[in-house]
Amino acid sequence: GNIINNLVPVDYSHLENVCPLSPVKVTSTTSLTSCSVSSLVGTEAIKSDILGGEWQPKNCTSRFLVAIIVPYRAREKHLHKFLSFMHRFVQSQNIHYKIYVIEQSTQKEFNRGKLFNIGFLEALKEKPFPCFIFHDVDLLPENSNNMYACTETPRHLSAAIDKFGYSPPYYRNFGGVLSILSHQFSLVNGFSNKFYGWGGEDDNFYNRLRSALIRPVRFDYSVSRYCTLPHEQEKPNENRHNLLKLSSNYVLEGLNSTKYTVIQRSDEPLFAKIVVDL
């Protein structure tokens, strides 16, 4: 069937010259079958069109407006590859997007969920983004039909990752890359802020969606393919099983209780950078 049928556009009914839906062919984009360096193109050529991580098609009005939130700390090589690949990829889909890199200061263990909440809050201060993509920095999409836009319910974009043999590690896994409409993210009160260290925050988020009777979707595994940029395994959070049991009441804690301090903010050529203390 047509996998892009249920994408939710912005209200473009009053607009003229709306961009076509199907991905356009960008001649300089090489198709990616593994995250090998050689297949990744340089960033120099695309810099001029992008301002502080934001881009939109020039010759037509995009149907989609998307904030891409990338939690980050000390993965400079990954970030470089991610940006050089991702801009071209999303541009080929004619999407109006902005990439936010939310960098956690050296203080405390890494907290992926809380960084997502911060990205959501900070992006909405700038523009009323109707759609968000929450994205790990070490994952690159392999199929140009994997649209970087929102479906009617949240979507697990990275269902088929190379290191898990191109299928989900378990049925309810919701890690890696996901898209969600902003109002649905608010409805479930975002991510939990409590998961410091690796693991569990994505399972907690999945539970929040299910408690709110929101059923996530996936595109076909042939479309949801990603390759992983290699890195050391993160140290698992030893308390994650407990947290997962305790934090089932999503109304109490999450987006509405995210406390943080912005310590640096800058428009880099390819991304908006926000450094935070948690």
Q: What does the binding site for ligand BGN look like in residue numbers (CB under 6 A)? A: 169, 173, 175, 199-200, 202-203, 240-241, 244
Closest CA to 185 of 208, 201, 169: 208
Q: How far is the CB of 207 from ligand BGN (least distance, A)?
A: 11
Q: How far is the CB of 267 from ligand BGN (least distance, A)?
A: 31
Nearer to ligand BGN, 54 or 203 (CB): 203
Please report, for residues 25, 87, 94, 179, the alpha-carbon distance to residue 44 in angstroms, rounded to integers and kept in the order given: 19, 12, 20, 28
Q: How far is the CB of 46 from ligand BGN (least distance, A)?
A: 31
Closest CA to 76 of 94, 98, 103, 56: 103
Q: Is 256 helix (H, G, I), strand (E, B) or coil?
A: helix
Nearer to ligand BGN, 144 or 237 (CB): 237
Q: How far is the CB of 163 from ligand BGN (least distance, A)?
A: 9
Nearer to ligand BGN, 67 or 161 (CB): 161
Mind spelling out the 3-state secondary structure of 157-216? CCCEEHHHCCCCCCCCCCCCEEEEEHHHHHHCCCCCCCCCCECCHHHHHHHHHHHCCCCC
Q: How far is the CB of 175 from ligand BGN (least distance, A)?
A: 3
Q: How far is the CB of 187 from ligand BGN (least distance, A)?
A: 22
Nearer to ligand BGN, 20 or 169 (CB): 169
Nearer to ligand BGN, 173 or 186 (CB): 173
Nearer to ligand BGN, 235 or 241 (CB): 241
Specify whether the CB–CB gap between 159 and 218 falls below 8 A.
yes
Q: How far is the CB of 132 from ligand BGN (least distance, A)?
A: 18
C-alpha 163/C-alpha 230 separation (Å) is 10
Alpha helices for the chain (secondary structure H): 76-91, 112-126, 182-187, 201-211, 240-246
Handedness of CA 61, 142, 209, 277 (dihedral sign): negative
Nearer to ligand BGN, 54 or 136 (CB): 136
